[in-house]
Structure 1
Amino acid sequence: MLYLGLISGTSADGIDAALARFDSEAAGKPELVFGRTYAWDTALRERLVALGQQSATLTLDEIAELDVRIGHAFAEAALRALADSGTPAAEVAAIGSHGQTLRHRPQGRPQDGLPQESRPQEGMVPYTLQLGDPNTIAERTGVRVVADFRRRDVAAGGHGAPLLPALHAALLSAPGEDRAVLNLGGIANFTLLPKQAAGDRGQVRGFDTGPANGLMDAWCLRHTGHGFDRDGAFAAAGRVDDALLARLLDEPWFALPPPKSTGRDQFHLGWVESRLGGHEAPQDVQATLLALSARSIADALRAAQPGTARVIACGGGVHNGALMQALARALPGCIVESSAAHGIDPDFVEAMGFAWLAHATVHGLPGNLPSVSGARGPRILGGVYAA
């Protein structure tokens, strides 16, 4: 009952691979057996980051070629994970591959002159697109692949995101307190676990809150040459620009009610630059972007579950000490801690989640939560690609 989960998030900072063991066919609590992050080829990563900008365009030939290139990168990560963990491919029931998100527009493509909504407006076509050809992964690894998890939920009227609240509920619910699981990837998202959710998945809610690491990573790369701000040192060298922060927080998306989701095509450097006055020091912008992440996350939690006693954080942002401290300051009276405090490696929760989703699909179990995504009902997610 071994499943391998693969994901590259909105920051495209690496391909996370997590090997998880399941003790039964029921979608219960998986055990993380092995986790590792494998670096992208530098040129391919730069291409992916550039494509996250709203203005980026591709020809059909470029999309088709990129799909296969990403598939090869994911296959290579899978093969390396199996080799590094000493696991024969024959012992893996399936690979759950999220792929690399190229566009995520569950509300449909924005149209000039129309206000943003959390649901598609008339004439809009909702869609989400992840690349990483699963046929290539199956062919190279010899393992069955489950992929394309998000589009079925979108087809059912949902946002296709977040997809992991059911796993968060299985792993981290507690009858004694209201909790929230916070994923700090390129984008931040919450899973809200009220006390009663420990026995009722219908009580679980979740939604994206906006930027986490994505904007900070992109700004840091542009001005320092480093792909991320180690422990928030670049931000700590600057001061928060309150006027800029107010302009950033004035973004209409923040006021949308859940269900809602977003991505790098909404929150990108062009979005930041459109709000700059032109005189800001780079380190001050970085400090302000960190404050934007902490403030938008805290505001969203207070609005959605004001009685939250504990925030359990996972994802790469857990390692940014300045961000974690800013979150703690923004949420007085609330414990803010890493999922490591609960015995769960924060770096591989998402990858383990796609192993969990593959396990659910293989056994004919729904993977989405309508209370989170807004879909019309539970759905079995993804397609299965035979080895």
Structure 2
Amino acid sequence: MHPTEEAAVPTRVIGLISGTSVDGIDTALVEISGTELDIKIELLAGATYPYPAELRERILAVGAGVAISMAELAEIDDAIAQVFAQAAQNIQIGHQPATLIGSHGQTVFHRPPGGAGEQGRRETLISDLARAKQQLSAKSTPLGYSLQLGRGALIANLTGITTVSNFRVADIAIGGHGAPLVPRVDAYLLSHPEEGRCIQNIGGIGNVAYIPPQHGDWLSKIRAWDTGPGNSLLDLGVEHLSAGAKTYDEDGNWAASGTPCQPLVEQWLNQDYFHLPPPKSTGRELFGVTYLHQCLKDAQAYQLNAADVLATLTELTAASIVQSYRTFLPEMPQRVLLCGGGSRNLYLKQRLQLLLTSIPVWTTDEVGLSADFKEAIAFAILAYWRNLGIPGNLPTATGAPEEVLLGEIHKGQS
């Protein structure tokens, strides 16, 4: 059957992802038809299933660079696949069964091309920006590496549903960053005939896709990159400052009770990652526990209370996003659409709106696409495209030299 004929029949697909915040498995059951510009989706069900507490702690430890044996890594890999499979089973209750799963898995390590270093240390920053630019353009630049746990083959076996996983490796293998992968989905779901838009995901790490108006060769003008910290430093800060009593700042209320320290924000924005030109990607290897501890050390000179520290970390997320727009976009957008867990942080949204002045800051909910489950929906679509033989990456976003099929297919046994 030709892909366009196959796409005429609506397909039920499950999208699964846990982001760098490791706050649970975002799960979406989606009905999809069409191919690209004509793609149509309906979100049938969406839910976030938390990790068992012990497994979450083990994942966070691995992501922070704690040394473990290969046997322990295998145990965690299997455990993640099992809870992902259970999430896929749960989301189908009360619905017709899905025929395909797209599982992003759980990222525990991400190394951009052109740079390597000891995981979890601040020294992973490229200290010489000129040298970094030269490396990134050289043919001898080392390939990137990204590891997502939660074996797709095991998910397929446990659910009986064909599962697509390991979405990042094909893009990385040809020299791309393997991130961000969602901009091609954003282009077909959220573009506008007349309006340039920034689709800003705020998970543990922030990433943006700039989608120009649908004029001429608009797809080639899309730009995307990881903007820097999203919720990662905020969640780590809350856990530290509350002595483990809290894991996140609900609605940003704690940060809203403090005052951002602008000199400290300006100091942090001088850091090399924020000035490295796209394509670029990052993760907890940079913006993790060690980075937070350095931020807390820097804050001591200003005698900030806990609320002021959180307000300042929140300001860093907002300011790094806006600075990246002003530095790297061909023009500022006419609208910003937020998604991800950070879109529910009302104080963060207010700070973004203040810094962006007259540019409206909405959520994707306001244009008909779930802000909470957009990333899970995206990996359902990427799996759907892989099944139809349609490329999923966008070279202008990942830095890859060409479009490629994303994901490895593991046949279910149903």
Match of 2:246 among 195, 219, 226: 226
Q: Which residue of 2 aligns with 1:165?
A: 183
**Letter in structure 1 aligned against 2:28:** A
The Cα shift of 1:93 comes to 2.3
Q: Which residue of 2 aligns with 1:69?
A: 79
Q: Does 1:99 align with 2:105?
A: yes
Match of 1:39 among 50, 56, 62: 50
Contact preservation (8 Å) 2:206, 2:229: yes
Q: Distance in 2 between matches of 1:293 and 1:348?
A: 21
The Cα shift of 1:237 comes to 2.4
Contact preservation (8 Å) 2:176, 2:399: yes
- Relative to 1, partners in 2 of residues 1:256 and 1:26: Cα closer, same or farther, differing over 3 Å? closer
Q: Which residue of 2 aligns with 1:293?
A: 317
Q: Distance in 1 between matches of 2:209 and 2:384?
A: 21
When structure 1 is superposed on structure 2, of 371-380 and 108-117 the one drifting more is 108-117
Q: How does 1:1-387 map to 2 (within 5 A)?
A: 1-24=11-34, 28-53=39-64, 55-83=65-93, 85-88=94-97, 92-107=98-113, 108-110=115-117, 115=128, 117=132, 119=136, 124-196=142-214, 200-224=218-242, 225-275=245-295, 276-277=297-298, 278=300, 279-305=303-329, 306-387=331-412
**Letter in structure 1 aligned against 2:325:** L
**Letter in structure 2 aligned against 1:4:** I
Contact preservation (8 Å) 2:198, 2:208: yes
When structure 1 is superposed on structure 2, of 119-128 and 143-152 the one drifting more is 119-128
Q: What TM-score results when the alignment is normalised by the length of structure 2?
A: 0.88
Contact preservation (8 Å) 2:79, 2:150: yes
Deviations 1:327-359 (A, max 9, x none): 000101201001111111100100000000000
- Relative to 1, partners in 2 of residues 1:302 and 1:59: Cα closer, same or farther, differing over 3 Å? same
The Cα shift of 1:172 comes to 1.2
- For 2:404, what is the secondary structure of its paired residue? coil
When structure 1 is superposed on structure 2, of 27-36 and 42-51 the one drifting more is 27-36
**Letter in structure 2 aligned against 1:354:** F
Q: Distance in 2 between matches of 1:29 and 1:209?
A: 29
Q: Distance in 1 between matches of 2:376 and 2:217?
A: 25
Contact preservation (8 Å) 2:143, 2:173: no
**Letter in structure 2 aligned against 1:312:** L
The Cα shift of 1:95 comes to 0.3
- For 2:207, what is the secondary structure of its paired residue? strand
- For 1:98, what is the secondary structure of its paired residue? strand
When structure 1 is superposed on structure 2, of 212-221 and 188-197 the one drifting more is 188-197
Q: Distance in 2 between matches of 1:355 and 1:187?
A: 21
**Letter in structure 1 aligned against 2:389:** G
Q: Distance in 1 between matches of 2:92 and 2:402?
A: 35
When structure 1 is superposed on structure 2, of 20-29 and 231-240 the one drifting more is 20-29
- Unpaired segments ≥5 residues, structure 1: none
Deviations 1:297-316 (A, max 9, x none): 01111223333110011111
The Cα shift of 1:125 comes to 4.6
**Letter in structure 1 aligned against 2:59:** L
The Cα shift of 1:132 comes to 0.3
**Letter in structure 2 aligned against 1:60:** M
The Cα shift of 1:194 comes to 1.2
- For 2:258, what is the secondary structure of its paired residue? coil
Q: Distance in 1 between matches of 2:325 and 2:215?
A: 17
- Relative to 1, partners in 2 of residues 1:298 and 1:154: Cα closer, same or farther, differing over 3 Å? same
Q: Distance in 2 between matches of 1:260 and 1:26?
A: 25
- For 1:99, what is the secondary structure of its paired residue? strand
**Letter in structure 2 aligned against 1:307:** M
**Letter in structure 2 aligned against 1:329:** L
Q: Distance in 1 between matches of 2:332 and 2:237?
A: 34
**Letter in structure 2 aligned against 1:50:** A
**Letter in structure 2 aligned against 1:188:** G
Deviations 1:127-161 (A, max 9, x none): 11000011221111110000000011011111111
Contact preservation (8 Å) 2:274, 2:320: yes
Q: Distance in 2 between matches of 1:280 and 1:198?
A: 51
- Relative to 1, partners in 2 of residues 1:26 and 1:178: Cα closer, same or farther, differing over 3 Å? closer
The Cα shift of 1:241 comes to 2.1
Q: Distance in 2 between matches of 1:11 and 1:198?
A: 38
The Cα shift of 1:166 comes to 1.1
RMSD: 1.9
Q: Distance in 2 between matches of 1:325 and 1:243?
A: 20
**Letter in structure 1 aligned against 2:50:** A
The Cα shift of 1:4 comes to 0.5
Deviations 1:173-198 (A, max 9, x none): 11212111111111111110112468
- Relative to 1, partners in 2 of residues 1:251 and 1:197: Cα closer, same or farther, differing over 3 Å? farther
Identity %: 39
**Letter in structure 1 aligned against 2:60:** V
